[in-house]
Amino acid sequence: MSRSTTAPRDPAAVATPRPEGPAETLDPEVAIRPVASLQEVLGALSDPVRLEMVRRLMAAGRPQACGTLYASVGKSTASHHFKLLRENGIIERHLIGGQVHQYLRQEALDAAHPGVVRSIVAAAEAERGA
């Protein structure tokens, strides 16, 4: 009996659709990682600064310049938060017109953990409005 060599489809490895634009490329220095486990994603989103970054990215629906995603921390601290979000497969980095932008990997997140990130962001928005 021969075994199939086809690996089962990993929902965390879903290709993220890339917004189109003539001057946009994925940052070649940063590899896109698969979406992390549920526990790791929840851990990454447990920090209020990272949660706000993801909330702003979700609201925009397209890549955003880094500076538009934070206000309460310095640039080096924001870089640390972006790195943690990238390492957990939540965002990816794009270069647009020579400027670094962050992009929420919504499709990959929904494939790996259906509705989780949307629910967390919605709860955070409801809490802010209360």
* pLDDT for 20 beyond 80: no
Cα(52)–Cα(85) distance, integer angstroms: 12
Secondary structure letter of residue 11 according to DSSP: G
The pLDDT confidence band at residue 31, using thresholds 50, 70 and 90, is confident
Cβ proximity of 57 and 95 under 8 Å:
no
User: Which of residues 59 and 27 earns the better pLDDT score?
Assistant: 59
The pLDDT confidence band at residue 128, using thresholds 50, 70 and 90, is confident
Cβ atoms within 10 Å, residue 65:
12
| Residue indicated by tokens 């994925």 | 26
The pLDDT confidence band at residue 61, using thresholds 50, 70 and 90, is very high
pLDDT of residue 130: 61
Token digits for 1? 């009996």
- Helices (H), ranges, the chain: 38-45, 48-60, 75-87, 106-112, 116-129
- Average pLDDT of the residues of the chain: 85
The pLDDT confidence band at residue 16, using thresholds 50, 70 and 90, is very low
pLDDT of residue 101: 97
* pLDDT for 23 beyond 90: no
pLDDT tens across 76-107, in order?
999 999 999 999 999 999 999 999 999 999 99
25 backbone φψ class: left, alpha, beta (φ>0; ψ -120 to 50): beta
